[in-house]
Structure 1
Amino acid sequence: MTASKDCIAFIGGLLVPEGPRAGKPIKLAKFQKQFIRGALRKKTAVAVLSVGRGNGKSTLTAGIALSDLLGVSDQQPRREIIIAARTRDQAHIVYQYAAGLASSLPEETQELITYRRSPRLEIEYEGDGGGHIIRCIAADAKNALGSSPTLAILDERGHWNADKGDDLESALLSGLGKRGGRALIISTSAPDDQHSLSQWLDHPPEGTFTQEHRPPPGLPADDLDSILAANPGANSGIGSSPQWLQAQAQRAIARGGSALSAFRLYNRNERVSGERRDLLLTTDDWLDAEVSELPPREGGAVVGVDLGGSASMSAAALYWPNTGRLECIGAFPTNPSLADRGARDGVSGRYVEMQDRHELITMGDRVVPAGQFLTAIMEHLDGAPVTCFTADRYRQAEFEEAMTAAKLRVPVCWRGQGFKDGAEDVERFRKCVFDGEVQVTPSLLLRSAFSDAVTVSDVAGNAKLAKARATGRIDAAAAAILAVAEGDRRKARPMHKARQPVWA
């Protein structure tokens, strides 16, 4: 038999240690067997599984670790298995699962197992030559110093501390090389595409097996098919039932805010931030603004412009306050290419897809020419009247030079990006979105921008726009905020009727 068959048969002979099925034999779901087969292939050095919460990740982790400890899936002498989790408490959960599963082993085998809870969480097996051990550690690189594991399991890798997590991952992978070991990364989705876990899934190097259960983006939180896509164990009696998950989704929708975003991250396994207090908008708030058919271009357009440099995107948002219509375009320089830029920013082929959807254009060499970009905006307007432009006063001189180059004579409203102007614009923008005064067709450019857009608050609670990650591109969101906020201010101003002249 192969290592994967032996491991599957071994786990199937164990008993469920807790829960409604406690004392019954473990029945691995199809997706769990698929992962074990892929993870234990000879050519696999790293195996990555991303699946929603409550799909038996801890049981699977503990079962594979126990299989390796007892020499079922690996026959190396003095085997060392490291299970790394975000904190010691989370590592203790996996430790408890492993100890619970081991309690169903034959008595002669159990007599050879020693459990230690202090100073470290360890399970040692003295059979088969002795010296075989499972160590459960917190995600800190110093905990893995001097180790040479045959198997490393990175539990909930998507939610480790960024710096310490990357350091520990590197330490474990380098340690595995000493003995030809393998790493298993098992987690719910990371909050964004830039995270190390997302990079493993999106750009797997040679020798990597990946298995991701994540629904397409933009679907309602209570869509049953997509819930089941993220929870493949639900129909196999693992974790929560489909009905319970759908009911939880509806409760999360009703509560909104952090409850809804947490459900999307953990239960739907989507790449959204679980910390929503500082997000500009939640995913669902923005999806409510998307419509299949835009209202007409009535009245004058307010055009928000965010000029970028060599690395940043230049973006423009066109907003018609009379109807709530919002359009947006972005621009990158041609060098480097959109594909290379997407790989560098950790968004894979997203920029190329935006270009195919006519939401993103390229111009210039290494910098988007500001004058040429303003000309492109006017071409996009196609003769529609413009009430005003609104832009960042920090780039005022450059913007005025660009208007001269483009031969434009349009009023400009200058806004700051600090707490004074920025906080007002953010609140006006949010208000308009919540009140249904912003309508836009599904735009990958704007979805991407808002997924990276957060707010930073001062001591008085004023919130200004900021990036969620260093390589995030929020220029389209900044332009939309400028345009919608200025449009809202102009709508609120009373229309004064001209007085008839009075002759003395």
Structure 2
Amino acid sequence: MSGPKLREELPWEAEGLDRLERVVAFMEDMPVTQGKLAGTKMHLRPWQIEQFLEPIFTVDDEGKRRVRTAALSMGRKNGKTGISAALALCFLVGPEAEERGEIYFCAMDKAQAAKAWAECKAMLEAHPELSQRVNIIRFSKEIEVLEGQGKGSVLKALSADADSKLGLSPSFVLCDEIGYWPKRDLFDAMDSALGARDEPLIVAISTQAKDDTHFFSEMIDYGLKIKEGEVEDESFHLAMFSAGVDDDPWSPETWAKANPALGDFLSYEQVERMAMQAQRIPSKEADFRNKVLNQRIDGTVRFIAAREWNDCNLAPIDETALEGRECFGALDLSAARDLTCFLLVFPEEDGRYTVLPRFFLPEFDIEGKSDTDRVPYNVWAKQPDARLTLLPGKVIDPALVAEHIADEATRFNILAIAYDRWRIEDLKRELDKLSVELPLVPFGQGYKDMSPAVDVLEVTVAQQKVNHAGNPLMRMCAANAVVTVDPAGARKLDKGKASGRIDGIVALAMALKTAQGHEEEGLPACLLAA
């Protein structure tokens, strides 16, 4: 019994098509393999073409693609699986294929990678012409092209929870649900390997990550800066569908912002049901906001709201302009291997405070510590604005911290440094060796001393009276910070209950309270010298 009659010319091979039209023609020839539309062919919607594909496949005067990195972020169940698989196959056996290309379909874990690969496999097996050109290797989750366009190319499924892949030369990489990857190693390995190809492309398709420190959040923020004209970069494209911070989460108009397929192949009734449950069951609201409304929220009850903290990114900080100025410091010493923070606040004439932190970590196994804490210390250490110093060795050397504090004392007029008594004797000993006398002030970490500091911090942030200039480690600490309350209603920042490091916020609370106490004794510090 003979199979279906094969077409002599495939839709994307027709004459007169430009690059985008060939891509669209290929993707719309891909079979739908699951759901109520199984057995039909994919039909791209205008939003998929105009907002996602068209910017990617726009070419310059030499016919080359400008975009090298692209991100598509939207709520769940908006056709991500189909468009991801079709796009990967377009680079494997379609109009974007090159000989001996390397296509990687990357997912969060082995199970998700296998699922993504299975969708590519199912599409090819249901396509009479393409199925004859490939060899599907099930046990290793690979598909190789035997003949025709893309001959010698291979598609492989990889997982982000595996070791970084080195020695690769990818022509196309698709990162599936990258917002939930546990670490960035696989993305970085792929991104750094793209340079070996003439027109490489890496695409991330995902719902937003839950917090600001995730590397996909950094990608989205970068894309938004490009859209707003703050940064110029033709090699990066972001297609973003998300509800706004002030939008009513229970309004259908809000649902539509994050779900372009709503009422099409995303059931309106399903989203309505999920919204109704989230409205009635508080524990479901955060999940609804993240996965359906595509908002960056994880449901943790935080001491400082992300929006309030971000609103305190008031302006870049010029350190040289602060030299000689009066300021107040705080020191939060860590365990030998953990984050230590020395922080200064400078009172301004308008009542605000400029925040200048310095963080310290041991250099040894910084990659491992980045993985453990799920934040990119290894990346931040290379960014001057992050103000993270890696100290040689496996532990924090108090002598090196003392040297930094002594240097800062020569640059700035430090009126007081609040400190936690824990481990302070080691630091005092090192300061004595340097013959440095500093105005050290003990600051208790219990409810009695910390409660007023927590109050000052809370009000100061809410009133936008601090400028942290977007420091990423301070943002991490603010996102992790939680408070506990004693029977009398007093509050303190609790490291034991925090979701991660909070040293920067503890230091900021101590420094602000110390500054306020000084000002309450007389004129504001910035006017005392006048």
1:252 corresponds to 2:278:
yes
- Name whichever of 194-203 and 46-55 sits farther off: 194-203
Matched, 1:68 2:86: no
- Relative to structure 1, the CA distance from residue 18 to residue 171 in structure 2 (aligned partners, 3 Å threshold; closer, same or farther) is same
Whether the 8 Å contact between 1:467 and 1:474 is mirrored in structure 2 is: no
**What one-letter code is carried by the residue in structure 1 that aligns with 2:22?**
D
Is 1:194–2:217 an aligned residue pair? no
The 3 A distance-change label for structure 1 pair 477 and 443 is farther
Deviation of the 1:208 alpha carbon: 0.9
Are residue 169 (structure 1) and residue 187 (structure 2) matched?
Answer: yes
Return the alpha-carbon distance in structure 1 between the equivalents of residues 255 and 195 of structure 2: 38
Distance 1:254 1:477, change over 3 A: farther
CA distance in 2, matches of 1:185, 1:445: 37
What is the CA-CA distance between 1:249 and the residue it aligns to?
2.1
Per the normalisation by structure 1, the TM-score is 0.60
The Cα offsets for residues 65-120 of structure 1, whole Å up to 9 and x where unpaired, read as 1111113223x2112100111101111121122122223312x43122222232x2
Q: Distance in 2 between matches of 1:229 and 1:441?
A: 30
Q: Quick check: 1:226 aligned with 2:242?
A: no
Deviation readout 1:263-288 (Å, 9 max, x if unpaired): 222111111236x3xx436979x9xx
Contact 2:145/2:154 (8 A) holds in 1: yes
- Report Cα offsets for 1:279-325 as digits up to 9, x if no partner: 436979x9xxxxxxxxxxxxxxxxxxx97579758599xxxxxxxxx
CA distance in 2, matches of 1:198, 1:308: 30
Partner of 1:184: 203
Q: Who is 2:154 aligned against?
A: 133
Q: In the superposition, relative to structure 1, how do residues 149 and 247 fare at CA in structure 2: closer, same or farther (>3 Å)?
A: same
Give 1:64 shift.
0.3
Mapping 1:310-349, distance limit 5 Å: 312=343, 331-333=353-355, 344=385
Number of the residue aligned with 1:159: 180
Match of 1:145, SS?
Answer: coil
Partner Cα distance (1:28, 1:343) in 2: 44
What does 1:404-483 correspond to in 2, within 5 Å?
416-417=444-445, 452-455=479-482, 464-465=494-495, 474=505
Q: Which amino acid aligns with 2:32?
A: V
Scaled by the length of structure 2, what TM-score is found? 0.58
Q: Structure 1 residues 367, 56: closer, same or farther in 2, change over 3 A?
A: farther
Equivalent position to 1:87, from 94, 106, 109 = 109
Name the SS for the 1:198 alignment partner: helix
Q: Which residue of 1 aligns with 2:290?
A: 265
Q: Give the Cα separation in 2 of the matches to 1:464 and 1:17.
A: 51
Answer yes or no: is the 8 Å Cα contact 2:68–2:236 preserved in 1: yes
Partner residue in 2 for 1:104: 126
Residue deviations 1:424-445 (CA, integer Å, cap 9, x gap): 999x99xxxxxxxx99998678
Residues 302 and 482 in structure 2, CA contact (< 8 A), matched pair in contact too:
yes
Q: Tell me the residue number matched to 2:171.
A: 150
Give the whole-Å Cα distance in 2 for the aligned partners of 1:253 and 1:343.
43
Distance 1:60 1:104 in 2: 16
2-structure distance, mates of 1:133, 1:96: 15
Deviations 1:442-463 (Å, cap 9, x if unpaired)? 86789x8997144499xxxx98
Report how many aligned residue pairs link the two structures: 372
Q: Distance in 1 between matches of 2:247 and 2:126?
A: 42
1:49–1:186 Cα contact (<8 Å) kept: yes
Question: After alignment, is 78-87 or 187-196 more displaced?
Answer: 187-196
One-letter identity of the residue aligned with 1:261: A
What SS does the aligned partner of 2:70 have?
Answer: strand
- Cα pair distance change 1:141/1:90, threshold 3 Å: closer
Q: State the secondary structure of the residue aligned to 2:255.
A: helix
Indicate the SS of the match to 1:147.
coil
Does structure 1 conserve the Cα–Cα contact (< 8 Å) formed by 2:342 and 2:357?
no
- Per-residue deviation, 1:416: 4.3
8 Å contact from structure 1 (residues 313, 330) kept in 2 = no
Contact kept? 1:452, 1:467, Cα under 8 Å: no
C-alpha distance 370-224 of structure 1, shift in aligned 2 (>3 A) = farther
1:217 partnered with 2:235: no
Whole-angstrom CA distance in 2 between matches of 1:334 and 1:463? 20
Q: Which amino acid aligns with 1:242?
A: Y
Paired with 2:78 and 2:147, the residues of 1 have a C-alpha distance of 32
- Three-state SS of the structure 1 residue aligned to 2:247 is coil
Matched residue, 1:57 = 80
Does the residue aligned with 1:81 lie in a helix, a strand or coil?
A: strand
Give the one of 131, 138, 142 matched to 1:122: 142
5+ residue gaps, structure 1, are 287-305, 317-328, 337-341, 347-364, 372-391, 396-413, 430-437, 483-504
Shift of 1:16: 1.6
Look up the equivalent residue of 1:183 and give its one-letter code: I
Task: Please give the per-residue CA displacement for 1:348-389, whole angstroms capped at 9, x wherever unaligned.
Answer: xxxxxxxxxxxxxxxxx9879779xxxxxxxxxxxxxxxxxx
1:27 maps to which of 43, 46, 70: 43
Q: CA deviation at 1:168?
A: 1.7
Distance in 2 (alpha carbons) for counterparts of 1:89 and 1:139: 11
Amino acid aligned to 2:272:
Q
Superposition deviation, residue 150 in structure 1: 1.0
SS of equivalent to 2:494: strand
2:302 alignment partner, one of 264, 267, 280: 280
Residue identity matched to 1:197: F
Instruction: Spell out, residue by residue over 1:313-341, the C-alpha distance to the aligned partner (whole angstroms, 9 max, x if none).
Output: 8599xxxxxxxxxxxx86215899xxxxx
Q: Conserved in 1, the CA contact under 8 Å of 2:141 and 2:156?
A: yes
SS at match of 1:250: helix
Q: Contact 2:279–2:285 at 8 Å: present in 1 too?
A: yes
| 1:152, distance to aligned residue in structure 2 (A) | 0.8
Contact 2:477 2:500 in 1 (8 A): no
Preserved CA contact (<8 Å) 1:53 1:188: yes
Residues 165 and 189 of structure 2 are in contact (CA less than 8 Å); yes or no, is this contact kept in structure 1?
yes
* Deviation (angstroms), 1:209: 1.1
Q: Which amino acid aligns with 1:249?
A: A
How many Å separate the matches in 1 of 2:107 and 2:222? 23
Check whether the contact 1:192–1:198 (CA below 8 A) recurs between aligned residues: yes
Shift of 1:206: 4.5
CA distance in 2, matches of 1:97, 1:313: 54
For 2:352 and 2:480, how far apart are their aligned partners in 1? 16
Matches of 1:266 and 1:282 in 2, distance apart?
22
